[in-house]
Amino acid sequence: MIYVSSEADNRLISWLSSCGYDVEEFRTDGIIAGPLSCHPDMFMCKMGVSDDSEIISYFMQDKTRLSPEYPEDIPFNAACTGKYFIHNLKYTAPVLLKRAEELGLEMVNVRQGYAKCSTVIVDEDSVITYDRGLGKACTEAGMDVLMITPGHILLPGYDTGFIGGASGRIGDTVVFNGDLSAHPDSDRIIRFIEERGLKIKWFPEWPLTDIGSIISIYPEKNYR
């Protein structure tokens, strides 16, 4: 199964369906700010990079509450590679911290509350980000980090979107929602991903757009 924003382009949804995935178009109302209310990565954290990594969801617990104002909207927006857990740990939902500790993940504390939005998770040891503080912390933790130019991502209702929110790894493919080739660092991004033995998919028909990540799980791991 794939979770994507209910506002994702129909051509993305069609392509994901053609790959054999069931696609759930995600939306909420009245919990966080309207433009983000359909972003899966604001409500669920995938605890690794592979399709069979479990998901911890806002909807499966009754302790952490979300609201429209920062930082009350970020408790589930952690970036998790399956080896590293990256977030502003001051605000992380306790259920996420507990599960990360149970899984033995290395905790990487960053100032960026929108850690998943800001991070393309390539593999367990490799990420792409524009956020210098996050990139520095990940590098110091021993990760391979590609730093890219900020901006160049659409997010309706905001000045800019984030590269992590415009992407997701599906199987052995890193998928970008829109025209990656229009990004000023596209060649470096493509090379970084391909050097790790992975494929890349993007869609030149529309601009690179933040939709709150593309989140894949096996059907039996559906925690929504």
Residue 219 has pLDDT above 70, yes or no: no
* CA 192, chain centre distance (Å): 18
pTM for the structure as a whole: 0.96
Domain range list for the chain: 2-221
- Measured CA to CA, the distance from residue 104 to residue 212 in angstroms comes to 26
pLDDT in tens, 197-218: 999 999 999 999 999 999 998 6
Residue among 112, 48, 125, 108 at smallest CA distance from 77: 112
Residue 173 has pLDDT above 80, yes or no: yes
CA dihedral 59, 3, 214, 142 (to 10 degrees): 40
Query: What pLDDT, on the 0 to 100 scale, is given for residue 217?
Result: 85
pLDDT in tens, 152-172: 999 999 999 999 999 999 999
Average pLDDT over residues 1-24: 96
Average pLDDT over residues 85-98: 98
Strand partners, 44: 57
pLDDT in tens, 102-144: 999 999 999 999 999 999 999 999 999 999 999 999 999 999 9
Q: Looking at the domain that runs over 2-221, which CATH code has it been given?
A: 3.75.10
Residue 37 has pLDDT above 90, yes or no: yes
